[in-house]
Structure 1
């Protein structure tokens, strides 16, 4: 299933269900198939998403700092293993941008 986020301030943002549910949970919303983030709720949602992105990046840096992490990554690439996974900041960026633009124009975001 896909989630389509809509706002009068931006183009639609479409995400796979699992990714959308993750971002909605971080933003303080349930995982209902339909909902709204009001213009008044947007600043708190943006703050929560940015905090989660920062925590994810810190965890990634900590993992990279462990001894042997670089050697393991090179070995996986040599074996044809998949590349780096898509990080939270990459998934959240379009949604955060939508929220910022919507807040600037005073519009709600619905899905």
Structure 2
């Protein structure tokens, strides 16, 4: 399932529900079918996301060499950075906001 994030300032972003769930939970938001992040909420949410990224980086397993056959892990930081940028662009306008929409709640 896809979750669509739409900023009135910075455009649109699509994410798979599992990635959106991790980011929204780290941000302290519920994973409902629809939601909003207001510009005044962005600094706290970005701080929470960066804290989650740092914690994920600390718990990530070390690379075991250059095994071309091994699947590459996409870190939370790589997933979060475009979302953080969307939020920061949105926060530049006093009346900025990000809406998200999914076909249904995706908390599980």
Normalization by structure 1: what TM-score?
0.81
Q: Which runs of 5+ in 2 are unaligned?
A: 101-108
> Residues 24-47 of structure 1, C-alpha deviation per residue, up to 9 Å, x if partnerless?
001010110110011111111100
> Residues 44-95 of structure 1, C-alpha deviation per residue, up to 9 Å, x if partnerless?
11000011111111223xx43xxxxx5xx238x26x232x210000000110
Q: Which runs of 5+ in 1 are unaligned?
A: 65-69
Normalization by structure 2: what TM-score?
0.84
Give the aligned CA root-mean-square deviation in angstroms. 1.5
1:40 pairs with 2:40: yes
Structure showing greater Rg: 1
Q: Secondary structure at the match of 1:36?
A: strand
- How many residue pairs align between the two structures? 99
- The 5 Å alignment of 1:96-111 reads 96-106=84-94, 107-111=96-100
Structure 1 moving runs of 4+ over 4 Å: none
